[in-house]
Amino acid sequence: MQDSLRAVVQTSFSQTGILRKKYVDKIEQWLSRPEIIIIKGVRRSGKTTILQQVAARTTKKSVYVNFDDYRLIPHLSLKLLDEIIETYKDTNFFFFDEIQKIPQFESWLRTHYDIKTHKKFIISGSNISLLSPALGTVLTGRNITFEIFPLDPTEIATFNTSFDDYLQYGGFPEIVLEPDFKKKRQLLTQYFNDILLRDIIEKHNITPVQQFKAVAQYIITNTGLKISANKLAKELGINSRTAENYLSHMVDAYLIFEVPFFSHSAKTKYVAGRASKYYAIDNGLTTALATRTNKGHLFEAIVAQVLRERGELYYWTGKKEVDFIQKNTAYQISLTTVEKGAFTELKQHAKHIKHTITITPRTISQLFE
């Protein structure tokens, strides 16, 4: 085990990559507090780089370990965590990447938190349910969570790319930095396959693999698709419970995200015609997997991705559809101009709506004002 640790553990850091300031600044504000910092997000979104950027900027002694490293496979147990702490006794900050590979890691972290060992833990993983259902409550009140997403429209300028390229190929950092469009597609296809295999199929022991892959590709290539588990089951000839699980697994792995119908009534949200919409977490996945793409759908997806970072997101439909609702604001999205009639109808049903915003490529900056 010691040989594996020496090969894998990193104790010195230099500034890595282009600084993701919007995340690093927020995380740094919590380093002086005892809470365990949890960093979650889709695979390849930059979590590892952000962890190392935080480590490089602190003056405290730090250790970084990626539990996805093949050299640690024989040792993935709580004993490995004990060994790390014992070997690096004088370390202040422990950065644990893909820690969900360690069974029952939550209880181990809680123990160290509760006995006040004065060690700071910053952990990351590629699933929304990074904390297992059985142990998810173990760290309640003992953690602060940050979600990491691919680059947003305000970040792409730092990475020196155009909005048109971003619209098509998304914001995965390495994709944005790759100038060859053929390589972009190849890498994005590999990202899709890696997420499916490592974060869903292996985790949930899914069979048959090709059936699940077909479902995932169908959802992603039709980003913004309005569909229920029952309808998906009928269209693809699968069991409705299976379809429901498939959607849940894809959301959990940050491959897609759900935008439910807005209603004050929980019952109304799930009646016929009120199916959720599902968007790919990044437009690059849609472009890489689809035979053709719709620019309007891709632009709508970008706005959905930006708003998704900020919290719960909904849509509404009556005689006309309102693309998104978040808190007390409603949004309509278009490549050119937006017909505002749906706002009037919405306000008759949702009295809490105080602001209405139309978003086009020319006015997308409104989202960041």
Please state which of the ranges 120-124, 256-260, 307-311, 332-336 shows the lowest mean pLDDT.
332-336
d(CA 184, CA 251): 24
244: which 2 tokens?
A: 């429901």
Domain hosting residue 236, numbered range? 163-368
Q: Cα(122)–Cα(142) distance, rounded to whole angstroms?
A: 12
How many structural domains are present in the chain? 2
Is 94 a member of any domain? yes
Residue 179 shares a structural domain with residue 213: yes
Q: Is 182 in the same domain as 102?
A: no
With a cut of 70, say whether residue 190 has pLDDT above it.
yes
Q: Please give the mean pLDDT across all residues of the chain.
A: 91
97 occurs within a structural domain? yes
Q: Is residue 156 part of a domain?
A: no
Model confidence at 93: pLDDT above 70: yes
Residue 153 forms part of a structural domain: no
- Domain identity same for 42 and 169: no
Residue position matching structure tokens 């048109």: 164
pLDDT tier at 278, thresholds 50, 70, 90: very high
Q: Could you tell me the CA-to-CA distances from 277 to 86, 218, 280, 344, 346 in Å, in that order? A: 48, 13, 10, 22, 18
121 and 253 part of one domain: no
Last residue of a domain, one of 148, 179, 202: 148
Q: Does residue 363 fall inside a structural domain?
A: yes
Residues 237 and 135 occupy one common structural domain: no
Last residue of a domain, one of 90, 118, 148: 148
In whole angstroms, what separates CA 139 from the centre of its chain? 21
Residues 201 and 350 in one domain: yes
Given a cut of 60, whether residue 265 has pLDDT beyond it is: yes
For position 267, what pLDDT does the model report?
54
Q: Are residues 55 and 128 in the same domain?
A: yes
Which pLDDT does position 263 carry in this prediction?
Answer: 83
Cβ pair 338, 347 in contact under 8 A = no
| Rounded CA separation 200/176 (Å) | 25
Last residue of a domain, one of 148, 178, 194: 148
Same domain, 60 and 200: no
User: What pLDDT sits at residue 132?
Assistant: 62
pLDDT digits (tens, 9 = 90+) for 71-80: 999 999 999 9
One DSSP character per residue, 108-124 reads HHHHHHHTT---EEEEE
Same domain, 185 and 142: no
User: 368 with 303: CB under 8 angstroms?
Assistant: no
Contacts by 182-188, CB closer than 8 A, 24 or more apart: 184/284, 184/288, 185/287, 185/288, 188/284, 188/285, 188/287, 188/288, 188/289
Shared domain for 197 and 341, answered yes or no, is yes
Strand partners, 121: 94
- Of 294, 289, 302, 287, nearest to 368 (Cα)? 302
CATH number at 69 reads 3.40.50.300
Same domain assignment for residues 194 and 142: no
On whether the CB atoms of residues 303 and 364 are closer than 8 A, the answer is yes
Alpha-carbon Rg for the chain in angstroms: 22
Q: Where are the alpha helices (DSSP H) in 195-339?
A: 202-204, 209-221, 229-236, 240-252, 283-289, 295-308
In a domain, 173, yes or no: yes
3-state secondary structure (DSSP) of residue 89: coil
Question: What is the per-residue pLDDT across 144-167, written as a single tens digit (0 to 9) for each?
Answer: 999 999 999 999 988 889 999 999
Whole-structure pTM value: 0.92
In a domain, 55, yes or no: yes
DSSP state letters, 192-231: HHHIIIIIIIHHHT-SSHHHHHHHHHHHHHTTTEE--HHH
Positions of E strands within 126-212: 143-148
- Omega within 30 of 0 (cis) for the link into 208: yes
Verify that 56 and 190 share a domain, yes or no. no
Within a domain: residue 154? no
CATH number for the domain spanning 193: value is 1.10.10.10
Among residues 129, 96, 146, the alpha carbon closest in space to that of 199 is found at 129
Tokens for 40, please give them.
Answer: 């979650």
The confidence band for 282, taking pLDDT boundaries of 50, 70 and 90, is very high
